[in-house]
Each structure stands twice: as structure tokens, then as C-alpha cells.
Amino acid sequence: MSRPLSILARIDWLLVLPAALLSFLGLAAIGSVGLAHDPPTLAPVIKQAIALGLGMMIAFGLTMANYRALDHYARLLYILAGVLLLAVLFFGRTINGTKGWFLIGGWGVQPVEFAKVALVVIMARFMSKHAHVRELRLLISSGIVMALLAILVLWQPDFGGAMILASLWFFLLLIAGIKRRHLLTMVVGVLLIAAISWLFLLKDYQRGRIETFFDPSRAPLAQGYNSTQAKIAIGAGGLFGRGLGFGSQSQLRFVPEAQTDFLFSVIGEELGFIAVLIMFGLFVLFFSRAVRIAERSGDNFPAFLALGLVLNIFLAAVVNIGMNLGLLPVTGIALPFLSAGGSSLIATWIAVGLLESIAARREGTRLSLTEDGVGSKISL
């Protein structure tokens, strides 16, 4: 059997299938919201379909390529991500108060989405070469690597993107295994940074979002409006929903940013609780297969790479669904695979391609996740 056919034979279709179904569900929901425009438009769903096609083609190319090349180009990818985040501060377009997009031929490109992938790659390289990151200097140096990107994102300002970058770093360190006193130092440092950010870095509207998280009723027509309307939409859907194109909250445009931040509420209203359960099931299947790929990767670098990629998608899904349910502050994080946004969708499918590249070249040795981090096969 030729090498390309051998790789295709080892593709994990139970990873690709839920990713594709979630993406098509997103297309249907985005198209439904487009009907609410005056006049109705299919432009957003056409753009999303083009981004999906491009993302799938990139994923296929990455599947056929050897992921180990990333180990050699990790620093270059990190530098490129930093340059793009810096450039967008000067040449980017401001949308909803955040200067985080390049406008190219009518398409918005959001570099923070690709910076997340770059951070995962550089952290996978770092952690695969530096044991359990048990030395304080290694912990600090890895934190600096993350912070340089996070600070650039905060300057946009994009609190949600910076939060995801910091969370990726933190959870990867927990997986790798760090000393308890270092963990305590990290927690104190995070609290200190949070206090400084609250006093000097966060904009008024960002502080308002956090304050509204604890009491949405304090601003029912401002920061609390989005979350309140999203919860009303989800509750109105009932068991089977009102049907695509028939959701009163989404079609009458009571839910802001319905195609992006709050697409989950559109699905809940128009397709109902059963569809939401199916969506959750697809996510669970995707995450379980991705973790399985990490466990069977047989080496340090692909294990951390796979875990970082799935963490990125998992954290975004949790934050987006949490803010739709009023459980987390509104941070502008897209729902992976589903929300309108070409950069987010393409970056997510890049992760799928890299996961499949790892799956196609796995050595078959199972890695165990222990309380000390990634288990004995990963010599830390």
C-alpha cells in the first residue's frame, strides 16, 4: 500500500465525523439567522461555507503532512504569531471596540485564533524537552512565552482571547506536572495580575461584563441584555424547538450577535433541547477521540500537541456555552465549529488536521495520564 493510502487508512473518522456534523449544524443555524436580516441575506452562510471548505482542505493537507515538522518550526510559528498580533494593533480594523482584525478583500482575519495554535505548538515543544517543568526558571520562562502573546491580545483589547491563551498555558502545566509550591506561586501571580488588570488594563465595558456576571440584573439593557436574551431564547425552544427560521428571539433580532457569540441560543430556540443534546454528544465524541489520539501518540511532543489542541477547542466551547447560559461573563469567544467567523473555523480545522496527522502516525503505545502529569512513556 502506498504511503498516502496508508495514511488515509489510519484516519480517525470518529474524530472527523463529529467535527463535520457540528460545522454543518453551524451553517444551518447561521443561514437561519440570515433570514432575519432586512432584506434577508445568505452572505454570512456563504462566507462560512467557503471558510469551511478552505479549513477542510487545509486539514486534509496537514493530515498528509508529518506533524513532526512543527517541532522544528515551532519558534518560527510563535514569532510569526507575535508579529501578526503586533501588526494588527497598528493596521487592524476595530470591531465592537476591539482592534483585532485584518480586513483583506472584504474578509476579516483574526490573528489571535492562529496565535492560540502557535502557543500550543511552542508549549508542546517546550514541555516535551523540559521534564515536568519542575524548575522554577522553566516555569517562569514558559510563562513569559505565553505572556508576550497575551499582552498583545489584551492591548486590542480582547480579554477573552487573552484568557484562553493563559488558560492553555496553565492547564498544560498541570498536565505536565508542576510542584505544589510553584502552583501556589502561579495562583498568587494570577490574582496579582487580575488585580492590576482590573485597576489599570481593563476598559469600562470589560469591567461591566464581569460585574454583570455576578448580577445580570444590574444592567438589563446593557451588559446583562445579551445573556438575558440568550437564556430566554434557549428556554423558549422547549424539547423540539420552533423550527429553523421560526425562532422569535433570533428572527426578531432580540439576541445580539446571534450568528457569532450567541449561536448556541439560536440552536436551542429553533432546534430545541434534543438538538442541543445531540450537539453535546458530538462534542463529547470529538473530545474523547482527541484524548485517545494523545494517549496513543507514543511520544512527548505529539502527546502535548494533541492535548493542547483539544484543550483550546474545549475551553472555547465551555466559555461560549457558559456565557449563553449566563454561567460565565460575555467574552466574545466563538463556539468551535459552529459560530460564524472564518478565522475561528479555519483554526479549528487546522487542529483537526494536526490531530489526524498524529493519529495516522501513532506508534500504538498507550500513554497514561497520572497525578504526576503525562505518564511513564513521557520521560520528564
Tell me which residue of 102, 60, 88 sits closest to 356, measured CA to CA: 60
- The pLDDT value recorded for residue 131 is 55
Q: Residue 114 falls within a domain, yes or no?
A: yes
DSSP class per residue in 184-212: HHHHHHHHHHHHHIIIIIS-HHHHHHHHH
Cell of 287: 473530545
Half-sphere exposure of 90 (CA within 13 A, CB side): 4
Q: Residue 343 falls within a domain, yes or no?
A: yes
Q: What's the rounded Cα separation, in Å, for the pair 9 and 317?
A: 30
User: In the chain, how many domains are there?
Assistant: 1
Q: Give Cβ neighbours of residue 202 (< 8 Å, ≥ 6 apart).
A: 157, 159, 210
For 286, the domain range is 3-374
- The pLDDT value recorded for residue 89 is 95
Distance of CA 260 to the CA centre of its chain: 13
Cell of 122: 511552542
pTM summary value? 0.90
The predicted-structure confidence for 55-111, as pLDDT tens digits, reads as follows 999 999 999 999 999 999 999 999 999 999 999 999 999 887 789 999 988 889 999
Q: Residue 380 falls within a domain, yes or no?
A: no
Tell me which residue of 354, 288, 284 sits closest to 317, measured CA to CA: 284
Q: Residue 147 falls within a domain, yes or no?
A: yes
Are 40 and 353 in contact by the 8 Å Cβ rule? The answer is no
Cell of 202: 481593563
- The pLDDT value recorded for residue 269 is 93
Return the amino acid letter for 125: R
The predicted-structure confidence for 12-58, as pLDDT tens digits, reads as follows 999 999 999 999 999 999 999 887 776 778 889 999 999 999 999 99
Q: Residue 379 falls within a domain, yes or no?
A: no
101 strand-pairing partners: 93
In the predicted model, residues of the chain with pLDDT beneath 50 are: 369-380
